[in-house]
Homo-oligomer: A and B are copies of this chain.
Amino acid sequence: MSEHPQAKAERRPTRQRAALADELAGAAEFRSAQDIHASLTASGARVGLATVYRNLQAMAGDGEVDVIRTADGEAIYRACATDQHHHHVVCRACGLTVEVTGDAVERWAEAVAAQHGFSDVRHTLEIDGLCADCAARR
């Protein structure tokens, strides 16, 4: 094993990293690296796209941000509200995101996998729908 799930890496604090952290802290939805970079640039923060990618990647590795993939393969990031394992319910229309935990599901996944002889089980689960607001304005 060479992976450290919640390993706290000691990265050197820099202006661009702070700006990125800020940007993430201010957003409630998942956003693409490009989107974040654009926002940063618009705000006057001079940060390179590569830097955004590199930091996002590092933070994801340390579990500081969640990463999920859109249907078309684009990675979107979001600051974790909690540091424990959780899943998301995302609004397809506006991107509103709610984090949820589900012990029942975790156990189910584990059990089902074990039932088929699998070990060292992990899983990905994303739920999407229409949030109350978006559903109402239809």
Residues of B within 8 A of A123 (CB): 125-128
Closest CB in chain B relative to A93 CB, distance in Å = 10
Residues of B within 8 A of A122 (CB): 127-129
A122 to chain B, nearest CB (A): 6
Give the interface residue-count category, chain A.
Answer: 20 to 34
**CB–CB A116/B104 < 8 A:** no
Q: Are B112 and A121 in contact (CB under 8 A)?
A: no
In the bound complex, what is the Cα–Cα distance between A69 and B98 (angstroms)? Answer: 22
Q: Please report which residues of chain A, range 94-138, place their CB below 8 angstroms from some CB of chain B when the two chains form the complex.
A: 98, 100, 102, 104-105, 108-109, 112-113, 116-132, 135
- Contact of A91 with B by CB under 8 A: yes
Q: Is the CB of B129 within 8 A of A119?
A: yes
Contact A121 B129 (CB under 8 A): yes
Chain B residue numbers with a CB within 8 Å of A74 are 73
When chains A and B are docked, how far (Å) is the Cα of A123 from the Cα of B124? 10
B132, A128: Cβ atoms closer than 8 Å: no
Closest 8 CB pairs of A and B: A117-B132, A121-B129, A118-B129, A73-B73, A123-B127, A125-B125, A120-B130, A98-B116
- Can you list 7 A-B contacts (CB < 8 A)? A69-B69, A89-B113, A92-B120, A109-B127, A116-B131, A118-B132, A119-B135
